Structure 1
Amino acid sequence: MNELIDTVNTLPSPLMAPMAHGLGPVADDWEAAEVWLRAIASRGRRNSPETVATYRYHIAKLRWFCENVHGVPPSRWTVQDVEAFYGFLADLPDSALCAQDEVTGAYAGVDDEGYSPFRKQPSASSRSDIQRCIHAMFRVWREMGYIAINPMGLHGAGTTRKINANRAVVPDLYDLVLDTMEASEKATFAARQAYTRDRFIFIALRELGLRASELIKATMGAFHCLTDPKDGKTYWVMVVREETAKGRRERTIPVTKTVMAALGAYREAFGMDALPAPLETGALILSPRTDRGAIVIGGKPIRDVESRRFFQAWLPVTTRHGLYYIVKGRLTRTADALKQAGDVTGCAHLRQASPHWPRHTFAKSALLTGQDVRQVAALLGHRDLATTMVYTEQDALDLIRATNMATPGLLAEQVTVSPA
């Protein structure tokens, strides 16, 4: 009997056994986060690779905070840890910013000393995006039994990012950016290439309404011809592929003559034919720099830069940060010129602008010129018409019209004084 009791006492108690969870074998919280990200990526049309990449970038910010500042892994967080993270994001110390080359302005890579996923102080909307991402991860961890509580439960998922329709580049300033680029010194072959490329980038962003990620993930073959059976004419279009579009909403955008002319000049500067050939797979946005290991003869890479240029061994620009650096550089140069000219307002406007502002410029311009809101929504890739309607201020216009019908003459109007 005593032997039986001893045997029973040595059996593991369910309460003493390690807590089982549904994430499978994970070594730490960051492997647990990867399991969650892979699950998101597998949801087909609901999430694009760009969405998953953005979530992974937010997780990288969380990890940097935990490993370099806070010292507590997320699975052991309490409400106080969440508040510490929020405080860190709201007032990012200089030590948390990614190291940057003083000459070229390039940021340190992931494996370089001084790297951090933070390149600037996160805005309110960026902090909200990070908060929603981490809250979603905690919620899944709790549902799968990886953690017992969601430490962000009291804070919620954060507010939803709202479109600020006023974040658009004024048309006159947009033209000034192009004029400043044209007037800039282009003493070297690479500088002339950069000019044609950057001019194409600005025109494409403004006239096609693209997201930055959609432009840099595109290939040259995204531009192709489409014949309209009604008029028998063939037009150029750009296809934003499902795998690069937000929400996996593939769309085809009619291309303006201005965009095609800019694309042709850009391609010729890089040694290509002006018009893209069908099914070209090369990156759409290229760097004037060449890939030293791209062309190999006799088992050895070509060392001569001119030869690599001849073989069009250009390095691609494939990250949003790379595009951001290009666009902000051009905007800053124009802002500096405005400052010297005494235009403080225009200078401040351009310093605030980002690669996403031209998309707002496109949306507002299209709607103000009378294009149907459904067509504009299709061009922008909006799933919900309400998102597109933000650019029209339709709610306010409906209230104005209703008030005028009920009480004519009540509302204050802008009075235009005619010249004598």
Structure 2
Amino acid sequence: MTPADWIDTAAVPPRALPDTVVAALAYLSEALGHAVYAHWTLARIKRRYGSLAEAKAAQPVVLKLLLAHDGAVEYWERGRLRTVSANQAPSPQTVLARLLHTHRRRFRSGASYGKEAAVPAAAQATGPAAPSSWLATHGPAELAWLARAGRFAQPHAAANTLGAADDAQALALFLRERAGRSPHTLRAYGAELRRLMRWCGARQLGPLSDLKRQQLLAYRHALQHGEGHTTGARPPRSEATRTRALAVVASCYRYWYDTGYLHANPAAGLSAGSRARAGFAPTRLLPPALLAACDAWLDAPEPDVANTLTAQRRRAIWALYRYAGVRLAELAWSAETGLPRLEAEAPGRWTLYVCGKGRKPRAIPLPTPCVAVLRAYRCARGLPTEPPVHEALPVIHGHKGEALQSAGLYREVKAIFAAVADGLQAREPAQALLLRAASPHWLRHAYARTLVVDHQVPLPAAQALLGRASVQTTAAYARTDLSQLRTFVEQTFAGPLQYED
């Protein structure tokens, strides 16, 4: 296939790549926001920079290779810009093929894109692979039960901005928007929706858009009183789990109502989400001493791996979770949103932009220690030390692909915890056990506690940095530490009380 046989589906409207390999590589460089292939000779580098002195300052590695070889090639591979002599470099066709494979969700062959375009819009409403695969786990009877519209649905009304014709399509769109970024969230949402479907099936109710408020209240009563074994759905054991189960159901109906698929919301007030947030108390917290031990371990790696790209990447991952308080999935690259993304408003003043829950973008200023680590990591990747404006590039690269996703990010942080725990095992076994149980989300709790408890950051500001929906959840971190409350009490009643006659 020629480059022109490939379609850039992210362009509006979608467009074919240029005819030649060189032009296609230039197009990819502009579309992806970074260099992908450049063949340098002494004559070309002189024309580009005017003098060898300027070329040495701008391209020291390239000029060093040109002094010993006839040509040098810069090419993009596995998340970094590599520079080798021309006789060792892959061909432009090979680089182009690798890039198209890496970004296969964006760049599609003309044949496959034509087949997708031929699928009716209603069939495409099942969304990306994750929500579609969840629907595919249901049998024919369950799918037939879902592929209907009940009394509250308005599938053909002008107010139905969702464009769904039945519950199956509406449910897939809900899962794609609210749970599509995280397989863990998708699994949890799917389990709760399946629990409701089984409860309805045992009572010959449904579809979901046909349930009345009294029926949903009966479902809530069944959850609260442990009624569910007869339906094959195990009832939630704890109050928090029951609250989350109802919250998923309420969120689905609210989404359908807000987008116009339903003309009424029978699940309004079904979930006591505010009371659950008020009772939230973070327990998965790492003591500051253990965080400092992890920082020290990363600052003093083994000599043979101190400057490798792998070590720099691990430091960058740790710094972002440690100093930005992001959720695990928020650091995973999404080509659809172009997030997460780094921007430098001024030298040393960097901001991390992420896509949070509900697809809400969030800006997080990064402190100086984090910026220093990210600079070193970008240099190891062959990138500019300061991120250019509108850089469309994964923040964390993957060795086998373009970006490291949630599973890889999780393994990297767990590896840090395990390595530090090995060093503490002999003298502090209890602390080592705590580290082995920790996960990246514990660093988010530590970030929140540092803001709220250690530095008394105003709750609205901490809430904005954490991307939380409720300020009550953010305030819960203050309840985990009595020392601050004790200080307030001591300062309030430090002197003798004065009574007037």
TM-score by length of 1: 0.56
For 1:34 and 1:356, locate their aligned partners in 2 and report how far apart those are by CA, in whole Å.
27
Q: Given the superposition, is the C-alpha separation of residues 257 and 90 from structure 1 closer, same or farther in structure 2, using an over 3 Å criterion?
A: same
Does 1:129 pair with 2:244? Answer: yes
Q: CA deviation at 1:356?
A: 1.9
For 1:211 and 1:128, locate their aligned partners in 2 and report how far apart those are by CA, in whole Å.
21
Task: Give the aligned partner of residue 428 of structure 2.
Answer: 343
Q: For residues 194-236 of structure 1, what are the alpha-carbon distances to aligned partners after superposition, in whole Å with 9 as ceiling and x for unaligned?
A: 3321221212222223233333248688333325xxxxxx541
Q: Given the superposition, is the C-alpha separation of residues 281 and 24 from structure 1 closer, same or farther in structure 2, using an over 3 Å criterion?
A: same
Is the CA contact (8 Å cut-off) linking 1:23 and 1:35 kept in structure 2?
no
413, 422, 447: which one aligns with 1:327: 413
Is the CA contact (8 Å cut-off) linking 2:339 and 2:353 kept in structure 1?
no
Q: Given the superposition, is the C-alpha separation of residues 220 and 264 from structure 1 closer, same or farther in structure 2, using an over 3 Å criterion?
A: farther
Task: Give the aligned partner of residue 476 of structure 2.
Answer: 390
One-letter code aligned to 1:61: A
Is the CA contact (8 Å cut-off) linking 2:321 and 2:443 kept in structure 1?
yes
Does 1:216 pair with 2:327? Answer: no
Give secondary structure in 1 for the equivalent of 2:395. coil
For 1:368 and 1:154, locate their aligned partners in 2 and report how far apart those are by CA, in whole Å.
33
For 1:223 and 1:179, locate their aligned partners in 2 and report how far apart those are by CA, in whole Å.
25
Q: Given the superposition, is the C-alpha separation of residues 154 and 277 from structure 1 closer, same or farther in structure 2, using an over 3 Å criterion?
A: closer
Matches within 5 A, 1:106-117: none
TM-score by length of 2: 0.48
Does 1:173 pair with 2:304? Answer: no
Does 1:366 pair with 2:451? Answer: yes
333, 342, 349: which one aligns with 1:236: 349
Is the CA contact (8 Å cut-off) linking 2:410 and 2:440 kept in structure 1?
yes
Task: Give the aligned partner of residue 88 of structure 1.
Answer: 234
Give secondary structure in 2 for the equivalent of 1:240. strand
Q: CA deviation at 1:375?
A: 4.0
Provide the aligned C-alpha RMSD in A.
5.1
Does 1:353 pair with 2:454? Answer: no
For 2:340 and 2:252, locate their aligned partners in 1 and report how far apart those are by CA, in whole Å.
37
Task: Give the aligned partner of residue 190 of structure 2.
Answer: 60
Q: Aligned residues: percent identity?
A: 23
For 1:127 and 1:186, locate their aligned partners in 2 and report how far apart those are by CA, in whole Å.
51
For 1:222 and 1:154, locate their aligned partners in 2 and report how far apart those are by CA, in whole Å.
37
Does 1:379 pair with 2:496? Answer: no
Q: CA deviation at 1:31?
A: 3.1
One-letter code aligned to 1:84: G
For 2:235 and 2:318, locate their aligned partners in 1 and report how far apart those are by CA, in whole Å.
31
226, 229, 254: which one aligns with 2:345: 226
Task: Give the aligned partner of residue 5 of structure 1.
Answer: none
Does 1:271 pair with 2:382? Answer: yes
Gaps of 5+ in 1: 1-17, 42-46, 92-122, 228-233, 291-314, 409-420
Q: Given the superposition, is the C-alpha separation of residues 20 and 360 from structure 1 closer, same or farther in structure 2, using an over 3 Å criterion?
A: closer
For 1:90 and 1:56, locate their aligned partners in 2 and report how far apart those are by CA, in whole Å.
18
Gaps of 5+ in 2: 1-148, 157-163, 208-214
Q: Given the superposition, is the C-alpha separation of residues 407 and 208 from structure 1 closer, same or farther in structure 2, using an over 3 Å criterion?
A: same
For 2:317 and 2:332, locate their aligned partners in 1 and report how far apart those are by CA, in whole Å.
10
Is the CA contact (8 Å cut-off) linking 1:167 and 1:353 kept in structure 2?
yes
Q: CA deviation at 1:364?
A: 2.2
Q: CA deviation at 1:344?
A: 2.7
Task: Give the aligned partner of residue 288 of structure 1.
Answer: 399
Does 1:245 pair with 2:356? Answer: yes
One-letter code aligned to 2:344: C
Task: Give the aligned partner of residue 311 of structure 2.
Answer: 195
Q: Given the superposition, is the C-alpha separation of residues 252 and 324 from structure 1 closer, same or farther in structure 2, using an over 3 Å criterion?
A: same
For 2:472 and 2:299, locate their aligned partners in 1 and report how far apart those are by CA, in whole Å.
38
For 1:169 and 1:323, locate their aligned partners in 2 and report how far apart those are by CA, in whole Å.
19
Give secondary structure in 2 for the equivalent of 1:226. strand
One-letter code aligned to 1:365: T
For 1:274 and 1:142, locate their aligned partners in 2 and report how far apart those are by CA, in whole Å.
47
Q: CA deviation at 1:259?
A: 0.9
Q: For residues 170-191 of structure 1, what are the alpha-carbon distances to aligned partners after superposition, in whole Å with 9 as ceiling and x for unaligned?
A: 22212323444566669789x9
Q: CA deviation at 1:65?
A: 6.8
For 2:272 and 2:490, locate their aligned partners in 1 and report how far apart those are by CA, in whole Å.
37
Q: For residues 90-113 of structure 1, what are the alpha-carbon distances to aligned partners after superposition, in whole Å with 9 as ceiling and x for unaligned?
A: 58xxxxxxxxxxxxxxxxxxxxxx
258, 270, 281: which one aligns with 1:164: 281
One-letter code aligned to 1:173: L
> How many residue pairs align between the two structures?
316
